[in-house]
Structure 1
Amino acid sequence: MTDVLKIGKKALTVSVVFTTILWSIGFAALVAPLVVKADVALVAGDVIQGTSTKNVFYYSADGKRYTFPTDKVFFSWYKDWSMVKKIPDAQMGNITIGGTVAYKAGTQLVKIQTDPKVYAVEPGGSIRWVETEAIAVSLYGSDWAKKVHDVDPTIFPYVYKVGSSVNTASYPVGALVKVGSDYFYVNAANSKQKVSADVLTANGFQTKYAVTAANLDGYTAGTDMATDVALKTVAGTGSAVVVGGGTTVVAGSGLTVALAADTPVAATIVTDSTNTTDGAQALIPAMKLNFTAAADGDVKVKTVKLTRTGISADTDVVNMYLYDGDTQLASSPSIATKVFTFNNSSGLFTVSKGTTKVITVKFDLKNSASAGITVGFQVVALGDIVTDGAAVTGNFPVLSNTMTGATVTDLGQFALANVSPTADADVDPGQVGYEIWRFTATTQSQDVELRSIKFTLIGSFNIADLKNFALYDGGTQIGTTVADIAADKTVTIKPAVPYAFTKGTVKTLSLKADIVSGSTRTFRASLQNAGDLIIYDKGYGVFLKHNGLDSFAVVSPGAGIDYTIASGSLSMSVAVDSPTGNIASSTTGVLLSKFNVKANGEDVKITTITVDCTNSTSARTLVNLKVLADGTQIGTTQSSLACDGTDWAPTFGSTWIVRAGTTSVLTIKADITGSSSAAQTVHADVAGGTAQGLTSLNAPTVSALVGRTLTIAAGTLSVSKNSSFGNKISTNPTGTVNGAGVKIGSFVVNGGAGEDAEVSQIAVVDVSAGETASTHYNASLYLQNLKLMHGATQLGAVLSNPASGASAVQSHTFNISPVITIKAGEQYVVDVVADIKSNSQTAASPIVNF
């Protein structure tokens, strides 16, 4: 879980679907420790806690207990902890976990860290997306964003059901609304019930969660609200627990436990005998166990007990771990006379039905352990493995091989120490590759390899606020960049090739990240647990403890030394693809400028943009000017704007919100009126504007930007004779009688300077020389199969028999499909080709021109 609540001094976070939560409210200060032995009578609605645990649950009418995922969820239902009832651990263990509690309807707005949508909560965990900020402001006030709380994405789909969206300013069901001095409960769509002071208390309402409205005149008045036990029912339906997708969880019937064939062999384990702080071997693989689930269902393993064997003491083992491959599942078991017990009521791990999961048992050796000690472990009996109901089988005891201790005097050492920060500091959002932690790595006695390092991020930040984590040794990156923080707020860097540190050196390492969002929120990086740092002694071929110490000390800048992400800002620039060169005169919807607008630190609402236009003659007027954000028009259309520096400031309300860490594209378009004149230019600019950070409520600066200068040019096509194909004479004839596919003319179509043009039809005409009043020499007399060509590409259909008639001028039309595009300024050659007929005249005959 990412938002863990703690009662007491220590908390263990386990990311599973139904997670047991430990809360830090100092519960012992409110309720004196009790020793409870006899079962306690429970009724539906009790809030219960085990004798020796810190976990608090809601006891439902269905006989199950339900987890409160955060303190905010708990306090949406209750004002304080006074109702918590202590029960024996054994009684608690016999109560099935039924699920996780949702926020009480009407108390808070929720979202998940990976999705910007904000939801209102209705009864039963139903949630509805509030579609626009304007609706949120109307319903919850201008400070609506302060009511928004993140829900861990790992439990979101199991706790909440997404319903229809809120697309009008109508309160969702469950809202408590204050009008004047009266309170009303929204019971159904546009239906209200008045709630008296007594009923407010009886139904568990807290007036601090009420929203204020001027009136509810548009709501149908119902009868005054009475006491309703359903409104105080936190969770529980009496039905089977259902998880995402509607699949009922079915537990497997059996689990077989056996020693893996590749379990570690007997080996020598080492400690440094120089003094008690020079270290000993860590992460010693002791045994591998195969857990095989029956084919009828998954099996959750809750308890693994391992009994130490050999000539050694419990204190010779300073820590133990369970690993699934390279993933640490558990550490720090309880110890009672040779028995090391790993326990988690929510499950240490789950074995999928019909499969085998291999679990490796590892341990750290005590500093200055005696040479010659022997250490091994065994699973003594089937009762040492506890499941969620599956029967355990196997050939017990399951024994590991024995490890024998030895001493050396030069075991490698590796220690990390903070360099900076050393005091609280602010960091501006939007920075890329910002150094969030600098620390030294000191290596002694042996060359050492860094195999893996897991950083835990602490603070009020959200997971999406920081991205792209990279670890550097000077200018050399260690491992690859980690794009996102894990759900448990950790970042693990595991080099594909172990990173080597030479003995006797001190290196300065830097952890860098992009500060994407999170205005007003805090963070700091740290190493929290022994298993978070995997270091390897190359000389002895063993793993080491950090700084050679038996007890891991947290490595961090220091408690309370945090970075605070400053208020949001806008980064604005002219887009690389903003238009340049020529634009056509007398055209509509012309793209004039394009700007990139990036929000840093928080979502930013841009409410106005000031636009102006400058023309080289100050005589140009833009018509139908409009502003678009990401391709969609925002604000109204300006009918005209003189290009003399006059400002236009359209307003957008809440329609343009740039999300933190994202870039929105602002474009300015208009119609270009009138004809072009020599060297006349224009540019459309952003002269400023207003904006608001939606978290900090500060006003980020909207920068002034000058758009690129564009030249207004003609957009029409022109046609000229192709000079490379000249007039023909008898000594250089056009072609011979019966000639096929003869080029008889060539022209150049010249693209206009202002814009591209599409051509769908071309017409050519023939004009004959040497005609008389009664005789016309048209192309039809001499030619057939007339066609147009652009290189090897035919344009339009072949005219088998060109037009003829009594006129000296005949037109021949070619319809072109698909159309051809002639780029601005392009020269496009069109050839006229035909077959010459057999009755064509001699060189002295009349001439036909096109």
Structure 2
Amino acid sequence: MKKGFIIFMALAMLLSYSFVVAPVVKSASDGDLIKGSGSAVYYLNGGKRYVFPNEKTYKTWYPDFSGVVVVSDSELSSYPLGGNVTYRAGTKMVKIDTVPTVYAVEPGGVLRSILSEANAAALYGSTWNKKIDDVPDSFWVNYTVGDDLTEGNYPTGTIVKEEGSATTYYIDGATRRPIATGVAFDANNLNWSYLVTATSLVAYSDGTSITGAETALTTVAGTGGGVVGGSVTVSLASDTPASTTYMGTQARAPFLAVNVANSGSTDVTIDNIVIERGGLALDADFATVAIIEDSISGSQTGLNKTFNSDHRATVGDDIVVKAGTTKKLFVVGNMTTRELMTAGNTPKLGIYSMALKNDATLSGSLPIWGNTMSLNTGVHIAAATMAAGGSNPTTDAAPKVGDMNVEVAQIKVTNDSTTEEIQIEKVVFKQNGTASDSDVGTYSLYDSSNGAKLATASQVNKYIEFSLSPVFKLGKAKNNEFMVKIDEVQGGSGRTIQLDIYRNTDLLLKGLTYNAYVIPTFPATSQPYWDNAGEVHKIGNGSLKVEPDSTFVAQNIAEGKDGVQIGQWLFTVKGEAVDITAMEALCKIAGTAAGGNISDMTGGIFYDVETGTGLTGADDVGGLTTTTTAAEGGVSSTDTVSLNVGVHKVGLKINLSSDFVDGQTITCEIDPDTW
């Protein structure tokens, strides 16, 4: 099933409402719903009014019109228009007549493709097609198209309960937040009519409870949500690519470079960029187009896009231009195959429009066009194939929190050319499991042939981007395998890790004869181009590590003293709190046999060194399951010791009799494996 599927819906009437409001005229305050003598209803925020495009949009936020305040027309006109309100996240699916894709709405008007009818039915039941509204084309620009939903996952903003459970949850990314009471539900203007029932929610981790009104939930979308204002200037970059020749299956072929300059003191966010194709050429000469930041080998913004009937493509992911900086953007083409490309065509690419968020202003003359390029179908540039590596983990590694160097994915790259070397500059994985960016500190990429570490990267917005420096060169007709390891699992018990390659340009390869990036062949022909679904790793429980504390050093002690500290260890707890139900330390006495022995050591207590609080009851040395002699015994406890996540300094104190003599030594050690 293609990601875009056709649903026939009636067009919503613009600015059409059916309600009665008592004609009481009064002054309004921020957060009020307001109207004048006309029918349009607005949300007032920050001294600006934001219009609900139609009643359908309004009803996703409010059940009725009883809270609308009627103000005088003169007061209404005193509030400048701020924008249009978008659908509330998690309530309805939306589409437009001219595009068949059905989307879920997330906070801030971000749209995520539902993927397929099957996924829609799995999420919303057999009547899923009754939960779709058409958004008029004129208001579609208020939304931003983001990445597709992960199959089986609800969009952020959904209110949902599990079959057989009375608990209602608010879905927030990979977490499910229980709504504590009906009062908390109402305080956030949630609507029971949008509650969905799920077969299972085990894929989500538990988040904090919602106990009252939260600004992030009650603020109407489309009303800003950031610093308002700022300005940027867009202009043609001096190093925009000169006219040249591009070839079939060439990736990241640069057509245009622009500078977006922010000379102010406020960060500015680019909401979307519309790319247009011009010149004597065909849309079919391009497989896709994309936006690259900073340099041709830089990071890609969003997904690869195809042209619509107007020869335009929209990249809808945010790009932040920091205050006082200039952001360089490249418009690139990923060229189609030699067989489909038309030799001699001369395309060019330009930026048709650029939309900014939060009422920021754009200076510069658009469209901006790059130079005309020529297409050549006679040259065979390098070719490469990506596949799963021979040691790609095929079973769940079941990593525990705290585990290190966990193998999670291996790929194999083959240079299919017998005449041209290639170099690997970048490998980008999408983490398609439920683990969040913070659950894994960093990942590392290794050369499987010799174990050398090639690059390290963090997970950012689900993507892990390995930039290889130096680049990895692959000889003619050669292949190599590369293993990805988690450096350390830092959290996320119960969540999953699955590394896919999502875009066919995420393996950045360059042929060294023609100095051109190439589009490799992947196992699949659509996103994800490498679906590693059979290799899902579920993060297990937390971990406990016990080791000597190097800050505690040997020292002279006196006999006949109570509460003498004779040991200190670091208990490192990761992932989740632990309960230790049995602890023991083995103590040994060395030196003169005529002195004190194990029976002269009593009242042993494990305690928290930093607070002085006892963790266990007192126990005389001896009685261990291990051999006990006059010179060897231990302190044991079956008291439950609860330790939260973190590093704890645990000490051992013992009472010493007066039978010890000079020169005797006492040592104590812990072996958690015996607990």
TM-score normalised to structure 1 length = 0.53
How far off is 1:335 after superposition? 1.5
Task: Kindly report which structure 2 residues correspond to 1:145-184, keeping only aligned pairs within 5 A, or say none.
Answer: 175-176=180-181
Structure 2 residue 246 is matched with structure 1 residue 269 = yes
Residues 1:454 and 1:433: Cα distance change in structure 2 (over 3 Å): same
Greater shift, 233-242 or 448-457, is seen at 233-242
CA-to-aligned-CA distance 1:684-738 (integer Å, 9 cap, x gap): 4557xxxxxxxxxxxxxx4238xxxxxxxxxxxxxxxxxxxxxxxxxxxxxxxxx
Within the candidate set 586, 607, 612, 1:628 is matched to 607
Partner in structure 2 of residue 218 of structure 1: none
How far off is 1:256 after superposition? 4.3
Structure 2 residue 396 is matched with structure 1 residue 425 = yes
How far off is 1:262 after superposition? 1.4
Secondary structure at the aligned position of 1:475 is classed as coil
CA distance in 1, matches of 2:172, 2:377: 51
The amino acid across from 2:600 in the alignment is T
Partner in structure 2 of residue 461 of structure 1: 435
The amino acid across from 2:456 in the alignment is T
Structure 2 residue 650 is matched with structure 1 residue 666 = yes
Partner in structure 1 of residue 136 of structure 2: 89
Residues 1:557 and 1:563: Cα distance change in structure 2 (over 3 Å): farther
How far off is 1:679 after superposition? 5.6
CA distance in 2, matches of 1:587, 1:232: 57
CA distance in 1, matches of 2:267, 2:532: 43
How far off is 1:393 after superposition? 5.2
The amino acid across from 1:670 in the alignment is I
CA distance in 1, matches of 2:373, 2:284: 16
How far off is 1:579 after superposition? 4.7
CA distance in 2, matches of 1:443, 1:238: 52
How far off is 1:261 after superposition? 1.5
Partner in structure 1 of residue 273 of structure 2: 304
Partner in structure 2 of residue 544 of structure 1: 518
How far off is 1:522 after superposition? 2.6
Structure 1 residues not aligned, in runs of 5+ = 1-7, 12-27, 59-63, 72-77, 109-142, 161-171, 177-183, 188-199, 209-229, 272-279, 688-701, 706-850
Secondary structure at the aligned position of 2:505 is classed as helix
CA-to-aligned-CA distance 1:123-143 (integer Å, 9 cap, x gap): xxxxxxxxxxxxxxxxxxxx9
Task: Kindly report which structure 2 residues correspond to 1:36-75, keeping only aligned pairs within 5 A, or say none.
Answer: 36-39=11-14, 40-41=54-55, 42-43=58-59, 44-45=61-62, 47-52=91-96, 54-56=102-104
Task: Kindly report which structure 2 residues correspond to 1:217-236, keeping only aligned pairs within 5 A, or say none.
Answer: 235-236=217-218
Residues 611 and 649 in structure 1, CA contact (< 8 A), matched pair in contact too: no
Residues 1:65 and 1:35: Cα distance change in structure 2 (over 3 Å): farther
Residues 1:653 and 1:89: Cα distance change in structure 2 (over 3 Å): farther
Within the candidate set 631, 637, 652, 1:649 is matched to 637
How far off is 1:288 after superposition? 1.1
Partner in structure 2 of residue 212 of structure 1: none
Partner in structure 1 of residue 628 of structure 2: none
How far off is 1:546 after superposition? 1.6
Residues 1:333 and 1:456: Cα distance change in structure 2 (over 3 Å): closer
Larger RCO (CA under 8 A, 6+ residues apart): 2
Residues 448 and 536 in structure 1, CA contact (< 8 A), matched pair in contact too: yes
Within the candidate set 476, 484, 493, 1:503 is matched to 476
Residues 528 and 554 in structure 1, CA contact (< 8 A), matched pair in contact too: yes
How far off is 1:614 after superposition? 5.1
Residues 572 and 703 in structure 1, CA contact (< 8 A), matched pair in contact too: no
Residues 434 and 514 in structure 1, CA contact (< 8 A), matched pair in contact too: yes
Partner in structure 1 of residue 227 of structure 2: 249
Structure 2 residues not aligned, in runs of 5+ = 15-53, 64-90, 115-123, 145-154, 199-211, 591-595, 624-632
Secondary structure at the aligned position of 1:703 is classed as helix
Partner in structure 2 of residue 682 of structure 1: 666
Residues 1:387 and 1:500: Cα distance change in structure 2 (over 3 Å): same
Partner in structure 2 of residue 481 of structure 1: 456
How far off is 1:529 after superposition? 0.8
CA RMSD of aligned residues (A): 4.9
How far off is 1:515 after superposition? 4.8
CA distance in 2, matches of 1:232, 1:589: 51
Q: Identity of aligned pairs, percent?
A: 18
Structure 2 residue 374 is matched with structure 1 residue 404 = yes
CA distance in 1, matches of 2:660, 2:637: 28
The amino acid across from 1:506 in the alignment is N
CA distance in 1, matches of 2:480, 2:499: 18
CA distance in 2, matches of 1:281, 1:205: 48
CA-to-aligned-CA distance 1:570-595 (integer Å, 9 cap, x gap): 44445566655854434454332233
Residues 290 and 357 in structure 1, CA contact (< 8 A), matched pair in contact too: yes
CA-to-aligned-CA distance 1:416-448 (integer Å, 9 cap, x gap): 211244633343424422322222221132211
How far off is 1:320 after superposition? 0.6
CA distance in 2, matches of 1:410, 1:186: 64
Partner in structure 1 of residue 259 of structure 2: 290
How far off is 1:281 after superposition? 1.5
How far off is 1:321 after superposition? 0.8
TM-score normalised to structure 2 length = 0.65
CA distance in 1, matches of 2:302, 2:424: 22
Residues 293 and 300 in structure 2, CA contact (< 8 A), matched pair in contact too: yes
Aligned pair count reads 536
Residues 1:432 and 1:531: Cα distance change in structure 2 (over 3 Å): same
